[in-house]
Structure 1
Amino acid sequence: MHRLLLEEEGKPRPALLTDASKQEPKEMVKPPRSFWRRKWTKLDKRVAHVILLLHLLCIFAPFHFTWPAFRVAVTLQIITGLFGMTISYHRNLAHKSFQIPKWLEYLFAYCGVHALQGDPIDWVSTHRCHHQFVDTERDPHSPIQGFWMSHIMWLFDSYTLTDKVSPKYSSNLQKIEKNMFVYFSKYRKPENVGDLERQTFYRFIHKTYLLHPIALAAILYTVGGVPFLIWGMCVRIVVIFHSTFMVNSVCHMWGQQHWRTGDLSRNNWWVGLTSFGEGWHNNHHAFKYSARLGLEWWQLDAGWYVIRFLQVIGLATDVKLPSPAHMQALALNKPEDHLLK
């Protein structure tokens, strides 16, 4: 596998065309029909069944609405979506855009476990691969194969995902198949997450992944019955699912490009609102190392506000931001006095 793009994050990425303002999006193609005819593995079926069940149970949400259940859902969405996925999985673990004490790092990562989008090792591996091969055939989730493939269908093809993320390394397939607690896993060992694999905590979460959301579901049911279970688990997880998946799909198809990134990434304000600031995706692809995604004052970025607060109280250190020189180098007709205010 090629060396991680993360090692080159401090360097501006060359534009595909000399005049970036005339960039044309890559040609979009439909997903191949063979996707439906392929052999579905046990992992693929497991993921599909879980996601389908969560969506079906959401149908009963209006019939089990209570204000306490709604408040639990919103609270858990902030804990698992904002602190878990946005701050921990994405900005801290995948891009190392800031440092926090290990106890807090593990706490935030454990919050992300309950978003049901995979354990830190698998999620970070896939995301790093996305940046390394963005909008090419090696990208795990790019709309060059169609909107739905980039949005959710890529989750149901573990062999193809493996070939894209870890083509050189193999592991025990039967061992993975028999472990019912593995979720968004792959059939081979990736080589781009050695920093996480060396830590006992992340290896433990990887091996026992589904046990943790199941335990949370049991607690919610014990405390608040069916309303807490449906709203605190099903509705909350489905909302986080699609707000995250829209970053992969919508933010590579619709929105504004302000930076020479050489890919399809876009800034989309309404995705930014639903995903705690992740919708400023063209900003992110231009400056992947940056802890701040909403670079303009009006670009709401809840993830950055939390990181900035942690920095002020001394818990977050080595907080990375794009330099004015780097921003000017990638800017598309953007005056200097508007940069990072």
Structure 2
Amino acid sequence: MAQQAQRSLLNTLFLWGTLILALILVPLKLVLQGLRWSEVGMFLLMYTLIGLSVTIGYHRLFSHRAFRAAWPLRLAFLVFGAAAFENSALWWSSDHRQHHRFVDDPEGDPYAISKGFWYAHWVWVMEGAVRPLEAVEDLQKDPLVRWQHRYHFWIGAVVALIPVYVGWATGNVWGHAAIGLLLRIVATHHSTFLINSAAHRWGSQPYSDTNSSRDNAFLAPLTFGEGYHNFHHKWQWDYRNAAKWYQWDPGKWLISLFAWVGLAHGLRRVPETQIQRARLDMEAKRLAAVLASTSPTLTEDLRERLGLAKARMEEALGTFQSRREAWEALTAEWKAKGQARGAAWQDLRGQWKSERSRCQQELRAAWADWKAARLKVLAFDGAS
């Protein structure tokens, strides 16, 4: 998909201008006035509201349809997301869907890391390639999205100037403008841009190595959970970016909260068995590479043990997944008939719980067997 490259004067002036002004005016402000807690609070409030609107709204809701939201929530995301000054939700989603479709392809990916770190980070914005809206017909049906697309710059300006309004009311326009407006714009831009650049350059690939995406826990706090990018590229439609409960992803926690209060529904998530299977395949691939560097005669027993452990793990995952799917289908059938109640239903639920417990026990045993085989290979590699 060829793109016509041209320099966007407006984008270039805005990105460089806000950065240079922040580098000059923020230190000057700190030297002359110091830093007030009200300024820090305003910066954090605006950075959080706008950043969450980008990750939850622009990214997970509009770009990937990972969940559905009531109109007040969509409106809030569109209003505060506009203050990121990263274009309208429609354009943002179009570019991002193309990124996933053509990831790493310098011709199709708008911010391909294969064209360099800084290109993926922000040069692509300043280059201003002419890209038509693509694959966003679903979003164009939403009147709120169309409204924001038409007026996003003015909406963003009104919202972004909230710190200035507060500064005017409290007699501290200069401090709030420097910290809450200017510094916040730069921080929002470059934290978002780091996902396009750093999250495609540094980090781990626990789920897939078919593209450059990486999990980077250091980026997660800056981007409200977006740092787990390898997981996201593997299952872009999942409302989470961090699959494990302890991984920092306030986006997924808030979406769950919105669902609990009735503002969101239809949350999509990949089954845990698929996640484990992906991890298993990646580990097996890396361990096979370790064994391939050694004479087959020396590692024959290790290969056999690793193969048996992987086969046991795959069987346990397959059994658990098939049993779960069968139970979900049975549950849907009983609910459709209005029979999901009474003694017969409770008996079925009890049978499923017992079967699920047996499957989970086998999974734990198979995973322990796999880990033991993995450690043997790694120990052999260390000794050699």
Which bin holds the TM-score, normalised by the shorter protein? Answer: 0.7 to 0.9
Q: Which residue of 1 aligns with 2:245?
A: 297
Counterpart CA distance in 1 for 2:283 and 2:49 is: 38
Q: Which residue of 2 aligns with 1:220?
A: 163
Return the offset for 1:63. 3.5
Return the offset for 1:219. 4.4
Return the offset for 1:209. 2.1
Q: Which residue of 2 aligns with 1:78?
A: 48
Residue 62 in structure 1 maps to residue 27 in structure 2: yes
Counterpart CA distance in 1 for 2:236 and 2:151 is: 30
Counterpart CA distance in 2 for 1:153 and 1:75 is: 28
Residue 146 in structure 1 maps to residue 94 in structure 2: no
Per mean C-alpha deviation after superposition, the further-off stretch among 279-288 and 102-111 is 102-111
Q: Which residue of 1 aligns with 2:283?
A: 333
Q: Which residue of 2 aligns with 1:257?
A: 205
Structure 1 residues 217 and 110: CA distance shift in structure 2, 3 A = closer
Q: 1:254 is aligned with what amino acid?
A: W
TM-score (norm 1): 0.75
Q: Which residue of 2 aligns with 1:10?
A: none
Q: 8 Å contact 1:265–1:285 — kept in the other structure? A: yes
Q: 8 Å contact 1:261–1:330 — kept in the other structure? A: no
Aligned-pair identity (%):
29
Q: Which residue of 2 aligns with 1:49?
A: 13
**Could you give the per-residue CA deviations for residues 223-256 of structure 1, whole angstroms, max 9, x where no partner exists?**
3012112212211121111111111111111100
Three-state SS of the structure 1 residue aligned to 2:182 is helix
Return the offset for 1:134. 0.6
Return the offset for 1:277. 0.6
Three-state SS of the structure 1 residue aligned to 2:84 is coil
Three-state SS of the structure 1 residue aligned to 2:212 is coil
Return the offset for 1:261. 5.1
Counterpart CA distance in 2 for 1:264 and 1:122 is: 23
Q: 8 Å contact 1:261–1:286 — kept in the other structure? A: no
Q: 8 Å contact 1:135–1:264 — kept in the other structure? A: yes
**Could you give the per-residue CA deviations for residues 138-189 of structure 1, whole angstroms, max 9, x where no partner exists?**
1111211111001110001223x52xxxxxxxxxxxxxxxxxxxxxxxxx3x
Structure 1 residues 126 and 222: CA distance shift in structure 2, 3 A = same
Counterpart CA distance in 2 for 1:263 and 1:111 is: 32
Counterpart CA distance in 2 for 1:149 and 1:125 is: 18
Counterpart CA distance in 1 for 2:159 and 2:270 is: 38
Q: Which residue of 2 aligns with 1:125?
A: 94
Counterpart CA distance in 1 for 2:90 and 2:68 is: 18
- Which residues of structure 1 form unaligned runs of 5+? 2-34, 163-187
Instruction: Name the structure, 1 or 2, with higher relative contact order (CA <8 Å, separation 6+).
Output: 1
Q: Specify which of 58, 79, 86 is matched with residue 89 of structure 1.
A: 58
Q: 8 Å contact 1:72–1:228 — kept in the other structure? A: yes
Counterpart CA distance in 1 for 2:157 and 2:59 is: 23
Counterpart CA distance in 2 for 1:147 and 1:217 is: 28
Return the offset for 1:78. 0.8
Q: Specify which of 149, 161, 179 is matched with residue 231 of structure 1.
A: 179
Q: 1:333 is aligned with what amino acid?
A: E
Matches within 5 A, 1:165-244: 188=132, 190-224=133-167, 225-244=173-192
Counterpart CA distance in 2 for 1:330 and 1:113 is: 36
**Could you give the per-residue CA deviations for residues 254-311 of structure 1, whole angstroms, max 9, x where no partner exists?**
1000112510110001011211110000010111111111112332111111112122
Counterpart CA distance in 2 for 1:78 and 1:208 is: 22
Counterpart CA distance in 2 for 1:328 and 1:269 is: 19
Q: Which residue of 2 aligns with 1:312?
A: 260
Q: 1:115 is aligned with what amino acid?
A: A
Q: 8 Å contact 2:11–2:128 — kept in the other structure? A: no
Q: 2:43 is aligned with what amino acid?
A: A
Q: 8 Å contact 1:142–1:252 — kept in the other structure? A: no
Q: 8 Å contact 2:81–2:156 — kept in the other structure? A: no
Counterpart CA distance in 2 for 1:300 and 1:215 is: 31
Three-state SS of the structure 2 residue aligned to 1:96 is coil
Counterpart CA distance in 1 for 2:72 and 2:164 is: 28
Q: 8 Å contact 1:286–1:330 — kept in the other structure? A: no
Counterpart CA distance in 1 for 2:174 and 2:68 is: 39
Count of matched residue pairs: 272
Residue 285 in structure 1 maps to residue 233 in structure 2: yes
Q: 8 Å contact 2:83–2:160 — kept in the other structure? A: no
- Which residues of structure 2 form unaligned runs of 5+? 30-34, 168-172, 285-312, 314-362, 368-384
Q: 8 Å contact 2:200–2:212 — kept in the other structure? A: yes
